[in-house]
């Protein structure tokens, strides 16, 4: 299947290192100065593909009669709620239309101007309406690092970690799309050696390199999603930065976990890459020992080989430094296990719900997915190419997350999740 994917080519020129070849076809919501109506798009190379226009021009009328209505929506939710058959139908039709060997759209020059809009001429918006947001804690290397720093070097994992995908409910209202400025949050902090907290801006602002999956179709209250069909409910994946105020977190997280230290902002990429695009990049998940309980066991479970990077630029830098390179396959708990566990008690999930991986760290120091780990809680400042150092983020810093699957002559990318720290 991967070889067949690699042979696909679009009549639109696409660089080998572009995030958006014909093998990808992600989805987002966009508008332009000429038409500020938000509508559904895909991407090919350096262009946004206006799916509403293609539907109005009749290119989907045979396979999806209500395509105009779906692609005129201001979020992807109505499209995602259609389910897997419609997702596959749209993907197959769009692949067919963009194929270099198909003259249907290729030779219809009058349609090109309104179908393909340069990326620098559009505004991308929050692609989904998020009802609920859950953040898991699924990277065992990250959990070990944090446990070593703050709990017990000899026993860094809590007893439940190897048995359940640990998670907590985040704040959906503060999930923002890339390039939204991130205001340094205020809250309670307990200074070193102090008995009482103070109210202050965080002095330990951090990023967390994560990915999140988006629920396409939901379940009914009281009806768990079984691990065997969990992937039928997942529409796609996006990049996520779960910004964190570490000093606030340290004071507030006992006994109920993070609160204000996480709820002030979470950045995602505007692009949702469909699960269907990632099929060629399946890999076996981490070996789990001990074996989890039966409801979390899935003989055909998998992860994905997705290279992930964090880029940091200070105000004095012309070009960002790559400060972390890790991989999605470093997760101990898979998406199917996360979703099965989330709903095993009958919890209802809905179209557009966001389920995040938690910080993704690898086993080497350059693969740690947070400054908390990269600077080892501030003890080892991170040296930058500008001769500056960082333990945590400073005002004016810009943190960008990127990710891609590398194919033969093409890559499947996720755009960028980027935010600049402001006062």
Percentage of the chain lying above the pLDDT 90 cut: 96
Over 70: is that where the pLDDT of 2 sits?
A: no
Confidence (pLDDT) at 151: 87
> Would you call 142 a catalytic residue per the annotation?
yes
Dist CA 204 CA 109 (whole Å): 54
* N- to C-terminal Cα separation, the chain: 49
Confidence (pLDDT) at 1: 46
Dist CA 341 CA 355 (whole Å): 12
Cis peptide before 255 (omega within 30 of 0): yes
Mind listing the domains of the chain with CATH numbers?
Answer: 13-125 (2.30.30.230), 133-422 (3.90.850.10)
Residue-averaged pLDDT of the chain: 97
Over 90: is that where the pLDDT of 264 sits?
A: yes
Range 135-146 average pLDDT:
97
Tell me the pLDDT tens digit for each residue of 126-139. 999 999 999 999 99
Tell me the CA distances in angstroms from 354 to 27, 286, 357, 378, one per residue in order: 16, 23, 10, 31
- Residue labelled with tokens 């923002």: 176
Tell me the pLDDT tens digit for each residue of 64-74. 999 999 999 99
Catalytic residue among 112, 125, 142, 169: 142
Over 80: is that where the pLDDT of 111 sits?
A: yes
Percentage of the chain lying above the pLDDT 70 cut: 99
Name the pTM for this structure. 0.96
Range 113-120 average pLDDT:
97
Confidence (pLDDT) at 5: 58
Confidence (pLDDT) at 7: 83
Cis peptide before 328 (omega within 30 of 0): no
């Amino acid at each position: 299947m991967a070889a067949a994917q690699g042979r696909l080519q679009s009549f639109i020129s696409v660089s080998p290192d572009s995030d958006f070849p014909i093998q990808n076809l992600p989805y987002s919501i966009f508008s332009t100065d000429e038409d500020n109506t938000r509508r559904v798009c895909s991407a090919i190379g350096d262009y946004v593909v206006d799916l509403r226009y293609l539907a109005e021009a009749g290119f989907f009328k045979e396979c999806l009669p209500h395509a105009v209505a779906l692609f005129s929506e201001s979020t992807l939710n109505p499209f995602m709620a259609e389910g897997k058959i419609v997702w596959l139908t749209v993907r197959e039709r769009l692949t067919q239309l963009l194929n270099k060997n198909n003259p249907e759209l290729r030779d219809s020059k009058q349609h090109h101007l309104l179908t393909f809009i340069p990326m620098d001429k559009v505004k991308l918006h929050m692609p989904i309406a998020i009802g609920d947001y859950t953040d898991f804690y699924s990277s065992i290397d990250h959990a070990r690092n944090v446990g070593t720093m703050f709990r017990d070097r000899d026993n860094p994992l809590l007893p439940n970690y190897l048995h359940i995908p640990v998670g907590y409910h985040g704040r959906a209202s503060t999930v923002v799309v890339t390039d939204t400025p991130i205001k340094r949050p205020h809250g309670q902090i307990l200074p070193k050696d102090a008995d009482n907290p103070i109210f202050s801006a965080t002095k330990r602002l951090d990023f967390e390199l994560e990915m999140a999956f988006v629920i396409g179709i939901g379940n009914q209250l009281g009806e768990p999603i079984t691990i065997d069909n969990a992937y039928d409910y997942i529409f796609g994946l996006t990049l996520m930065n779960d910004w964190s105020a570490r000093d606030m977190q340290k004071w507030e997280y006992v006994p109920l976990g993070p609160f204000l230290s996480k709820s002030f902002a979470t950045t995602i990429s505007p692009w949702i890459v469909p699960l269907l695009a990632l099929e060629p990049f399946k890999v076996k998940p981490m070996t789990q020992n001990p074996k989890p309980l039966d409801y979390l066991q899935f003989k055909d479970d998998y992860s994905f080989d997705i290279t992930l990077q964090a880029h940091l630029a200070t105000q004095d830098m012309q070009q960002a430094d790559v400060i972390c390179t890790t991989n999605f396959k470093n997760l101990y708990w898979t998406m199917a296990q996360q979703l099965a566990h989330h709903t095993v008690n009958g919890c209802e999930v809905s179209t557009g719900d966001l389920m995040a991986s938690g910080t993704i760290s690898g086993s080497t120091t350059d693969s740690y997915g947070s400054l908390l780990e990269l600077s080892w809680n501030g003890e080892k400042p991170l040296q930058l190419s500008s001769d500056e150092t960082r333990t945590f983020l400073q005002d004016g810093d810009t943190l960008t997350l990127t990710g891609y699957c590398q194919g033969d002559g093409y890559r499947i990318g996720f755009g960028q999740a980027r935010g600049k720290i402001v006062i």
